[in-house]
Copies of this chain bind each other. A is one copy, B any other.
């Protein structure tokens, strides 16, 4: 393990319960990972009050209060007067709010003052800010949002999840390269299996985009396993699944809604009989655990791959655990120089 100090900027104003969740998650991360320093970016007074509260033992986990004296010097607070709200138009917000927390975090990354940026804010704004201030890795045409879907085996990295609604075959090839490098570092999988999301297994299925992407993937050095269908994702047939951002976004949001839907429908049936209710009661711990498996808080957020710095987007409803895990993944990607590998692979290809 490298002894290098990893510097992370955390947008403290992004999530639904900002800045408390961000501050708590950062404290937890600093306890677990000694070689990290964090800049909390946002309204200084609010962040300060949060840290104060934790230090004084009011309104927080006791273990955090005990930890604060040991980690406090690894936290710096950087003021940002403006906040981009969830509902704002990303491009407009980035143009007009140059002192927003995400803009300032991105600028820190651009200036080389931090290695990674984490935000649970407006996804479009994080993307726009990353593109504008941090920029792309040389050789990357389109950065892509990557999320992990659960599966029978390892989690499956699906990209793009909404950064690019109209794609060309070359973009899908690049997503496959970036996804493979990400998965190999975060899950230690050697030569991850790459699948092209399509409407049939056979070659020649699909549309112009998948036709072209199939050819590029087949000729590449990636471990390309061919087309995969919607049903193959949860089966864990591939480690990386590539698609355009429209399909990916629809799939992600649909997928996120399924567990809640199934449990709601189940509850409606269960209340009809005492025996079923007893069954539901006994099964609760397993259902709760399953829900945790299905949500992403263990996975450490969705990296925006292709940006020339590590950028991780967390869910608006992130918990401190989700923020902490995002810090863990950011640290891993920085230490293992994932971006340098993406650059080398794509430059070789274009050269």
- Residues of A at the B interface (CB closer than 8 Å) are 89, 150, 152, 162, 165-166, 197, 199, 202, 206-208, 229-235, 243, 245-247, 249-259, 261-262, 264-266, 269-270, 275-276, 278-287, 289-290, 293-294
Contact = CB atoms under 8 A, between A and B. Distances in A.
B286 A266 contact: yes
Contacts of A261: 150, 152, 234-235
A76 to B, nearest CB: 35
A230 B252 contact: yes
B207 A233 contact: no
Contacts of A166: 207-208
A340 to B, nearest CB: 31
A163 to B, nearest CB: 10
Chain A at the B interface: SS class: helix
B282 A246 contact: no
B253 A254 contact: no
Given A246-B199, A264-B152, A229 B206 contact: no
Contacts of A290: 262, 265-266, 269
B258 A206 contact: no
B283 A270 contact: yes
A100 to B, nearest CB: 20
B246 A165 contact: no
Contacts of A254: 230-231, 233-234, 251, 254-255
A286 B279 contact: yes
A293 B268 CA distance: 12
B207 A230 contact: no
A272 to B, nearest CB: 8
A79 to B, nearest CB: 31
Contacts of A293: 265
B285 A276 contact: yes
B253 A251 contact: no
A302 to B, nearest CB: 14
A251 B249 contact: no
Contacts of A199: 162, 165, 245-246, 249-250, 253
Contact of A257 (B230, B253, B265, B279): B230
B259 A233 contact: no
B253 A165 contact: no
A225 to B, nearest CB: 17
A231 B275 CA distance: 32
Given A152-B264, A199-B249, A234-B258, 17 more contacts: A162-B199, A166-B208, A199-B253, A206-B246, A230-B256, A234-B254, A235-B257, A243-B250, A251-B251, A266-B286, A266-B287, A269-B286, A276-B283, A276-B286, A279-B280, A279-B282, A279-B284
